[in-house]
Amino acid sequence: MATTAEYGLGEFTFPRGWFMIAPAATLTGIQSLRMFGRELVLYRGSTGRPVLLDAYCPHMQAHLGAEQTSTSGAHRIEGDSIRCPYHSWRFGPDGRCDHIPYFSGTIPDAAKLHAYPVEERLGCLFAWHDPEGGAPDYALPAVPEWDDPAWVQCEFDDLGTLPVHPQEIADNIADTRHFGPIHGTRLAYFDDEFDGVTARQRSGGGHETMAANTGILESDAAYTGPGILIARYSGETDAVQMIMHTPKVDGVTQVWHGLITRAHNVPHAEADRALQKQYHDLALTSFTQDFAIWRTKGPALNILQLATDGPFHRARLWYKQFYNPRARAAEFQARANGLHRTREMPAHPSAVAAE
């Protein structure tokens, strides 16, 4: 595996942005996580609020997710706060210590933990990570289909970790020429458009298993920030694929996957759920076809790029904005923004019509 510094991405080892940290349904009790190269503790307060804090108590560095065998300390969640298992210091969802059971004086200002903004969406928990400690500067992507009763929801696949830097995964947004060898796709068109924190890929084509020139699957896939990809497919049945990847340590990435489909019946019939599973399984198989390459490839620190490859250089410029101070984001965006075609590959029909 290679590190952020080896890719020359910027000042920060881990990027700024929204990242999935867990499926919402799995949050029971107190969970210990390792994300962004840090030990974290995740819990749900008595109000239902999910809370993510740095894990080590500033008092004596006890891990807030450690087990506590004493029955007197069994109930460590109080409201939306959590008590340290070592000396019962209590920390609120803002990370500040607000109670020490054996101390009546003024609690030191240093008695605080970093608290991460958390949102619960799409049956997932997302945390905002910013090396500069700033508030979110863009919103999570909208997926109105998730709450539409005409769509069949899904549970997310936990695909574990890959021993690759997330740069290698994000490169797919510009990789025109891997669709045939890896996925068996006969591309009819492909283009990329970068706009601020969004990287959009539009593609369409048939598959090697289809009769020649019959049928086309259209895909409109977009990253919002560096770790959330939402892809919409239109064909016999509309589908939305969601791919989330989050850096655990420098050069190791956690990946989740899910897919929802438009139903033919409301309420959903068994046939609708069966169709969702069929499309989900096909999408998962297609996505994981990349894994065999990612797990075994060397790091592409510098791509020996051909003009007919795809706009890798634009994609990597776009990606760098998240590894540098937000004051420089506009600089990278200005260099990447715009519609970019792959030489010798038609663009989306709407782009061609506009020329």
For 201-257, write each residue's pLDDT tens digit. Answer: 999 988 665 545 556 788 999 999 999 999 999 877 899 999 999 999 999 999 999
For 292-302, write each residue's pLDDT tens digit. Answer: 999 999 999 99
Average pLDDT over residues 282-288: 92
- In this structure, the strands spanning 228-234 and 338-341 are unpaired
Who wins on pLDDT, 72 or 147?
147
What are the residues facing 232 on neighbouring strands?
220, 240
Pinpoint the alpha helices (H) of 189-328. 270-288, 291-296, 312-320
Domains of the chain, first to last:
17-129 (2.102.10.10), 144-354 (3.90.380.10)
The helix/strand/coil state of 63 is strand
Pinpoint the alpha helices (H) of the chain. 4-7, 166-170, 179-183, 270-288, 291-296, 312-320, 329-336, 349-354
Average pLDDT over residues 23-52: 96
Average pLDDT over residues 276-287: 93
Q: What is the pLDDT of residue 217?
A: 81
For 294-338, write each residue's pLDDT tens digit. Answer: 999 999 999 999 999 999 999 999 999 999 999 999 999 999 999
Who wins on pLDDT, 354 or 165?
165
Q: Is 298 exposed, middle or buried (0-12, 13-18, 19+ CB in 10 A)?
A: exposed
